[in-house]
Amino acid sequence: MRKHFFSGIQPSGRLHIGNYLGAIKQWIALQDEYEPIFGIVDYHAMTVRYDPAEMRGRVLDAAASYLAAGLEPEKSILMVQSDVPEHTELAWILNCITPMGRLSRIPTFKDKVRQNPDNVNMGLFDYPVLMAADILLYKSEIVPVGEDQVPHLEFTRDVAERFNSAFGEVFAEPAEVLSPGARILGLDGVNKMSKSLDNCLYLDDSDDEISRKLSTAVTDPARKRRTDPGDPTICNIMNLHDVFSTSEEREQCADGCRNATIGCLDCKKILIGHVVETIRPIRERKTDLLARPDDILDILREGAARARPIAQATMAEVRRAVGVTR
């Protein structure tokens, strides 16, 4: 039997190629060795203000995006966190062994307080505990995540250890698996790709948008004119070539940049062709899926039905360990 691991997806709008290269591609590669559980974490999304009328659509959109990007419901379990109440049940028990001081030191909490100073709620403070519950409920030994999630994984190991030493060995201590492509910058060439910075290539951008965005993306600032030589090692377009282009094309572009025999636009044209070819089928599959929301809901319902027995088995052990069975 394949082992499980859990990884969470925020139902927060459109995915960009940073998400794709950073996380999704990695998950899809793990579908054969493991039976992964991908949870659309709607309870985590409630820690910031939101419009309840939009939640259903956000969940469907996230599901369609991941399915379109290659998540196969035969190999992986795609579910919604709130469909399996054991997540919040375990979170409560973990709450009772979590010192408040430990949570207040987590950098993502401090960031969120800075971003939402008028809504510092208990859920925001408790976010890492619910995330630890997501992971431990399925006895995950690995968790593929982006680098920004490492403090949460450290916390999860901490809680697992605390639980095991207080109540007996129940949980594995999970290790983060960081994806190799996680270092892709935004189109500004400076910041990480981020929705709020408007520097993203989205998985549902049209061919024209992809072409326009990449044509104006920042390259080595030393290349003001076509005749100026550049440094491909500091150019974000070259980072993208590393992921999308063939080794001959990469060499051609890097050499051409160093001795100014290729212009940035010609270098970008090669990249644009590959990115368009990668994104187009994902965009088309997503449009197709969103036209059939009932099919998506069926997949989510089945995902919850497959996740629940695994979660219940762990909770039976946890309840016994903490002394709430009769």
Q: Which residues form the catalytic set?
A: 112, 192, 195
The site that binds ligand TRP (CB under 6 A) totals a number of residues, namely 13
* Contact indicator for 38, 304 with CB cutoff of 8 Å: no
Q: 106-141: buried (b, 16+ CB within 10 Å) or exposed (e) per residue?
A: bebbeebeeeeeeeeeeebbbbbbbbbbbbbbbbbe
CB of 22 to ligand TRP, least distance (A): 10
Which is nearer to ligand TRP, 44 or 241 (by Cβ)? Answer: 44
**251's tokens:** 């060499």
Q: Does 275 bind ligand TRP (CB under 6 A)?
A: no
Give the footprint of ligand TRP on residues 137-166 (CB under 6 A).
143, 145, 149, 152
Which is nearer to ligand TRP, 8 or 186 (by Cβ)? Answer: 8
Q: What are phi and psi of 79, to 5 degrees?
A: -140, 170
Give the footprint of ligand TRP on residues 76-135 (CB under 6 A).
131, 134-135
Give the footprint of ligand TRP on residues 243-262 (CB under 6 A).
none
The single residue among 44, 58, 112, 241 that binds ligand TRP, judged by CB under 6 A, is 44
CB of 92 to ligand TRP, least distance (A): 16
Q: Does 8 bind ligand TRP (CB under 6 A)?
A: yes
Sheet of 4-9: strand order equals: 4-9, 35-40, 77-80
CB of 8 to ligand TRP, least distance (A): 3
Residues 267, 22: Cα–Cα separation, whole Å: 23
Which is nearer to ligand TRP, 156 or 245 (by Cβ)? Answer: 156
Give the residues across from 5 on adjacent strands: 36
Residues 267, 186: Cα–Cα separation, whole Å: 18
Residues 88, 7: Cα–Cα separation, whole Å: 16
- Residue ranges in contact with ligand TRP by CB under 6 A: 6-8, 10, 41, 44, 131, 134-135, 143, 145, 149, 152
